[in-house]
Every structure is written in C-alpha cells, then in structure tokens.
Amino acid sequence: MNCEKYRKKISALVDGELNDKERQIVERHLEVCPSCRLLEAELTRLQLQCRSLWKETEPGEDLSVKVMEELAGKKKRRVLPPFSRRIKYLMAVMVLAVAGMVAAGMGWHPVLRGIWKGLGQFLFIPLLMVRDRIWLAEMLGGAIILVLAGLWFWMRKRGREGAEE
C-alpha cells in the first residue's frame, strides 16, 4: 500500500487542520493501515510531549530597562513612503520640472540647451522622426537631469541620516 501521501497528512490530522473531505479520506486509510495508525498515535504522543517541554519556561527579568537603555540616543528611522506614493512623488517632480522649463522658455544658455536636447533626443529617439517636436526632446532631457539631480541629493540626505543612526 502506498502510504506516503497519507503520512504527509497525518500531522495535519493530529492538529485538526484537514478539511472534512481530506480528514475522511485519511481516517478511512487509518482504519486499514496499522503502520499509519501507529504513526498517528506517535505524533499525538509527541505533540503532548512537545507541549509540556517548554511550558516551564520561567518568565525572564523585565527587559524593558535594558531595551530602554539600548534605545537611549537612538532616533526612530525615517521610513520611506510606500512604493506607490514614491512613484507619485516622482511623477509630481517630473511634471514640475517640465512646467519649470516651459516657463523658462527657449532663452536659456545654449550649452545647457544643447545638453538637454542631446539627452532628450538620445532617450526619446521617436521624437527625432518629427523635426518640429525637437523642443519636446529638450524639455524631457532637462526634466530627466533635474529628477536625477533631485534623487541624488535625496539619497545623500538619506545616507547621512542612516549613518547617524
């Protein structure tokens, strides 16, 4: 008789964690299989022994004093906002950056303008196909540079806070 699939379920049977259908199947098998019945009896005995093994654990001294000493001088970690909120922040920063550049108009320094245009064209190749949308490439390139700069400053700040802790 192939008992393996039943033996795996006997532990859950002892815990009363099988659903009705599974329980009935395993119990029917136990009626005809002495070796699985023995396993069930031994696991039940083992369960009782395990439960009495650790019940005598004496309560420890009050750890709150030690924990408080440990916590003295430690600041609570500033927690990063959830991922979805971080994405929203990022989007907001990008929109602001783009809006800022639109407001600045086309009269900025030619070197800066060249870098922004180059990055935008590089990252947004499809824009190259439409010559009259080059200004969009410039804005996107600029937005990316601003976002990366903002992220860099933010991560440096986080790194300093982490080191202080």
Partner 1 sequence: MEEQMVWLRAAQKGDKASFGHLVTAHQDRLLRVAWGILGNRHDAEDVVQETFVKAYLALDQLKELKAFGGWLLRIVVNQSISRKKKPERLWLELDKAEGRHHDMEGPGRRLEEAEEKKQLAVAMSQLSPSHRAVLILREQELLSYEEISDVLGLPVGTVRSRLSYGRQKLREIFLALETQGLEGKGI
Nearer to partner 1 by C-beta: 68 or 106?
A: 68
Minimum Å gap between C-beta 27 and partner 1 is 17
Minimum Å gap between C-beta 64 and partner 1 is 4
* Among the listed residues 1, 32, 68, 111, the single contact to partner 1 using CB under 8 A: 68
Distances (CA, A) of 45 to 37, 42, 48, 60, 97: 12, 5, 5, 29, 69
Handedness of CA 17, 20, 23, 25 (dihedral sign): negative
Contact track, partner 1, 24-43, x by CB under 8 A: ---------------x--xx
Rounded CA-CA distance 115/117 in Å is: 5
* Among the listed residues 31, 57, 129, 163, the single contact to partner 1 using CB under 8 A: 57
Nearer to partner 1 by C-beta: 24 or 112?
A: 24
Binding site residues, partner 1, CB under 8 A: 7-12, 15, 17, 39, 42-43, 46-47, 49-57, 59-60, 62-64, 66-68, 70-71, 74, 76-79, 165
